[in-house]
Structure 1
Amino acid sequence: MIYVAIAFLVLLALNLPLAFTIGISSLLYFFASGLPLEIATQRMVTSTQSFPLLAVPFFVLAGNLMNETGITRRLISFSKVITGHMRGGLAQVSIVLSALMGGISGSATADAAMESRVLGPSMIQRGYSKGFIAAVLAMGGLITATIPPSIGLILYGFVGEVSIGKLFLAGIIPGVLLTIAFMVATAIISKKRNYVVERPNPPSLGEVFHELRSNILALIFPLILIVGIRFGIFTASEAGAFAVVYAFVIGKFVYKELTYKKLIEVLKQTSLDIGIIMFIIICSAIFGYIMVSDQVPQHLAGFITGISSQPVIILFIILAFLFVIGMFMEATVNVLILTPIFLPIIKSVGYDPVHFGILFMIINTMGGMTPPVGVTMYTTCSLLECPTEVYVKESLPFIAAVLLLIVILALFPQIVLFIPNMVFGV
């Protein structure tokens, strides 16, 4: 196993894409140990043969469709009415938009990239610093990855055999709390720097009702998914298929903004997105087999429980490890590789896997917003032409807010479990 770790670190240092790094270093294990390569091939194939996993490509396609149907533009309009009167109006708009996009894109990086293209130029024109813009837009992606339907939660549920419906419900309150925390941090910074407001006065009830009526088809989308899954109308995978049909019908026949040319571009982009995700999944399957064969979870569990027998300390040790490893590895990879390792430990000390899944997803996704290899960080900085060192400085207040919230959620599990326990029963 040691040579696999060495090969992994060397390939990572050479800046090889993570999927190739995982796949090549894992195959070395088979060559060195004399195991037949047929096992690796079988593991790669069987990792894709899962009905729940169909939710991932469906939601990726649905998110790309909705970005081309005018729904995103309408959500921006709704967000401006709700938060435009606040100090740092456009920054507040971006945070609320991230919360609304949680039920659409399900991807932190996709959300941050879209907002950087749409809101970034306008925020620069209004005098916001590029570092602040990049930090707000990137960190807002955490909300998207927490509020259902999150692709990361789907993968966690798939790998850990945890109810995806419960995970979706568990993400609602933490997602709302993240939104509030970011809005408070943004308001404090914006007031200090005297950033502009978009509207002179708070919205009237009539304005809110008008915008709500105009955007109701987009806003009720997450509610339809959650209710449908809870009452057995469809599974998570079927919900993804429904999301695709919903997005197509709304874009083509209601808003009439989805042309066939746009549809072709959406299918091309979705093919690329799904190809990348699935390649990571099949390579991670080989790595997971090696972990199980060498009893890595058992050894690691023994090491962690040897440090302390207190469940809360064990939880925070694991969360600290996830925070560090998230800085170096992509979030999807971490979910696929680390869930089988840490979930049994968490269960053994009495924590609910749904509770841990939300904590895992927040802190794991935040790795994409931190150096040295944060994908979301580099996406926003690249699109806004912002130096990463400036971004890092501006992101510190938001990172502090997230870490404080994680501590609260870890110490008070019922904040996370209240809705799923109420809906599904304890």
Structure 2
Amino acid sequence: MSALVFLVLLLLGLPLAFALLAGGLVYFAMDSHLPITVAVQRMVAASQSFPLLAVPFFVLAGHVMNHSGITQRLITVSNVLVAWISGGLAHVTIVLSALMGGVSGSAIADAAMQARVLGGPMQSSGLSKGFTAATITVSALITACIPPSIGLILYGYMGNVSIGRLFLAGLIPGILLTLVLMLVVYVQARKKGFTPVQAAPPSAMQVLKALNQSKWALCFPILLIVTIRFGIFTPSEAGAFAVLYACIVGKWVYRELTLAELITSLRDSISDIGMIMFIILSSGVVGYAIAYEQLPVSLTLAVTQLTTQPQLILLLCMVILLVVGVVMEGTITVLLLTPILVPLMQSVGVDPVHFGILMLIMVTFGGTTPPVGIAMYAVCNILHCSATDYVKAAMPLFLAVLALVVVLALYPPLVLFLPDLLF
């Protein structure tokens, strides 16, 4: 009944957090053994987590960086590096997504920002509206892997998995996603006759100059991983460091961050943080109901009766996440399914770090597809692109992403090499 209430309210347009909380409260109201006060206690308990402090800090850091000149310099270096390849600015948006993974931490924020900044120039350079929207939206998947992905932090919190290991594990898949998407865009651009923005590759001096101008922005993800790996910062402390780093670079290095822009960053962050935290608190109620009903145990028994092969179980979970991700927003999917699926993965011998990277890619992938793709609708609305044109242009990118996920699932060292090496 509670699941039905949640789905009905969601379809009626009620905000996600309220629909989730209502579904959880219905469960407690219908169970005579559980007083409603337990639901309130679970909401409070869900907020009492030190690692969870990383979320508001990284959200604030992303907003400050967007107002400090860091984002613009990342666009410049991306343009210098890849604008000469067939597809031009389409490659720029892919490389920028890889660089922005350590800045925005959010696929939806990354896609919306790039649609506003690069959408117009991409179309002016000769790229079609559907191709532009598809490239911007699907390339935002890279943000799900590159630290400090908000999704990885939430997964680590809900599944009791090392966030430091997750951050390292996301690097190689993030790079592979970047290369695969660039290859598909290159092939499609040559097929459709899209010409590059620049006629010739940049000189070594141009590359060095662009890298030098962006060195403080490019150093951020490296500093983040190094400080967490060597125990200098916890993930939460790294988030606070990220805010301080963005303020120092914006104010005294690039000299673009003003007091008014800092206040704007704080105001925008409050809205985003409030939304995320309310969803987390509401998920605490639902999460308790899931544990009380022993759904993880039931799911484990049901799946292991079908097969005991870890890789087949992993691929089956990927299919489930694909279906769920298409109809449900990524954050809530992570919060609801992590406590259910992580015990299942551990019971069959799948590393939860390996599974976490795959899970984040799949649930974020759902945001790029109809019918409930939030990132897709955000970009299409900004660019005034129809869903039909978007889907037609995005199909090769979709197939490439799914193929890469299968490879990552069947060959775990691609994900686990760095965390096993450094931890």
TM tier relative to shorter chain: over 0.9
Equivalent residue, structure 2, for 1:139: 138
Name the % identity: 54
Match of 2:9 among 11, 17, 22: 11
Whole-angstrom distance in 1 between the partners of 2:2 and 2:304: 25
Match of 1:103 in 2: 102
Residue 32 of structure 1: how far off its partner (Å) = 1.0
- In the alignment, is the contact (CA less than 8 A) between 1:132 and 1:391 conserved in 2? yes
Runs of 4+ in 1 over 3 A off after TM superposition: none
Q: Describe the superposition over 1:143-172 as per-residue Cα deviations: whole angstroms up to 9, x where unpaired.
A: 011111111001111111111111000000
Deviations 1:32-82 (A, max 9, x none): 113222111111011111110000000000001111111111111101110
* Separation (CA, whole Å) in 2 of partners of 1:198 and 1:66: 27
Distance in 2 (CA, whole Å) between partners of 1:312 and 1:80 is 40
CA contact (8 A) 2:279 2:332 kept: yes
What residue identity is the alignment partner of 2:16? L
Report the alpha carbon displacement of residue 130 of structure 1 after superposing the two structures with TM: 1.2
Cα distance in structure 2, aligned partners of 1:7 and 1:241: 38
Equivalent position of 1:32 in the other structure: 30
Unaligned runs of 5+ in 1: none
User: What's 1:85 paired with?
Assistant: 84
Residue 416 of structure 1 is matched in structure 2 by 415
Q: Which residues of structure 2 form unaligned runs of 5+?
A: none
Query: What is residue 48 of structure 2 aligned with on the other side?
Result: 49
By how many angstroms is 1:368 displaced? 0.7
Q: Cα offset for 1:118?
A: 0.3
| Aligned residues of 1:18 and 1:329 also touching (Cα < 8 A) | no
In the TM superposition, what whole-angstrom CA distance separates every residue of 1:363-408 from its partner, at most 9, and x where no partner exists? 1111111111111111101111111122112111111011100110
- The alignment status of 1:23 with 2:31, answered yes or no, reads no
Q: d(CA) in 2 for partners of 1:349 and 1:302?
A: 11
Q: Say if 2:97 and 2:143, in contact at 8 Å, map to a contact too.
A: yes
1:15 Cα offset (Å):
2.5
State the alpha-carbon separation in 2 of the partners of residues 168 and 207 from structure 1: 31
Residue 299 (structure 1) shift: 1.3
1:379 aligns with 2:354: no
What residue in structure 2 maps to residue 213 of structure 1? 212
Residue 195 of structure 1 and its aligned partner are, at CA, apart by: 1.2
Aligned residue for 2:338?
A: 339
Q: How far 1:125 sits from its partner (Å)?
A: 1.4
Give how far 1:23 is off. Answer: 0.7
The corresponding residue for 1:271 is 270
Secondary structure at the counterpart of residue 47 of structure 1: helix
Give the deviation of 1:301 after TM superposition: 1.5
Aligned residue for 1:327, secondary structure, equals helix
Matched-pair contact (CA < 8 Å) for 1:169–1:420? yes
Amino acid aligned to 1:379: A
Give 1:8 shift.
2.0
Task: Note if contact 2:57-2:236 (Cα within 8 Å) is conserved in structure 1.
Answer: yes
CA distance in structure 2 between the partners assigned to 1:338 and 1:64 by the alignment: 29
Q: Give the superposition deviation at 1:274.
A: 0.3
Paired with 1:272 and 1:20, the residues of 2 have a C-alpha distance of: 16
In structure 2, what is the Cα distance between the partners aligned to 1:344 and 1:335?
14
Show the counterpart of 2:60: 61
Find the counterpart in structure 1 of residue 116 from structure 2.
Answer: 117
Please give the residue correspondences for 1:274-313 in structure 2 after superposition, counting only pairs within 5 Å.
274-313=273-312
Contact 2:21 2:286 (8 Å CA) reproduced: yes
CA contact (8 A) 2:125 2:197 kept: no
Return 77-86 or 200-209, whichever deviates more. Answer: 200-209
The alpha-carbon deviation at position 12 of structure 1 amounts to 2.4
Q: Secondary structure at the match of 1:142?
A: helix
Superposed CA RMSD: 0.9
